[in-house]
Amino acid sequence: MIEALHKDSIFSELFQTDLLSRSIRMQEDVVDQLFNSSEKRLARVLLLMAHFGKEGKSEVVIPKISQEVLAEMIGTTRSRVSHFMNKFRKLGFLNYNADGVHVHSSLLSIVLHD
């Protein structure tokens, strides 16, 4: 790996960029876990999975993912995730069906509200 990094400057730059972006994401996740409610963490994860705020078109539909997996991702229980998903659905922030979860940009209001 070290040899590849020294010989190929394009690869080296891509690798370093990826490492830095992962490090930044991990720092954001730690701050999110420490300072935000599980409701906000769930909204943030759903928006990240839908690629809101990234260059290009957002993925409005997130492929099927279990509530257990979402609960593990945000550090809470499946029942809390179920409660928040139902709340988000009733407020019109998302819909879910056989295709997966349809995320609406209005879900940003949960993350940005304070």
pLDDT in tens, 81-103: 999 999 999 999 998 877 788 88
pLDDT at position 56: 53
pTM of whole model > 0.75?
Answer: no
Residues 43 and 30 in one domain: no
Mind listing the pLDDT tens digit for each residue in 42-74? 998 998 888 776 655 555 778 788 999 999 999
Residues 107 and 66 in one domain: yes
pLDDT at position 97: 79
Query: Cα 90 to chain center, whole Å?
Result: 21
Residues 17 and 56 in one domain: no
Residues 20 and 69 in one domain: no
Phi, psi of 103, deg, nearest 5: -95, 130
What is the span of the domain harbouring residue 26? 1-35
Write the secondary structure of the chain as one string of H (helix), E (strand) and C (coil): CHHHHHHCHHHHHHHHHHHHHHHHHHHHHHHHHHHCCHHHHHHHHHHHHCCCCCCCCCCCEECCCCHHHHHHHHCCCHHHHHHHHHHHHHCCCEEEECCEEEECHHHHHHHHCC
**Structural domains counted in the chain:** 2
Residues 50 and 22 in one domain: no
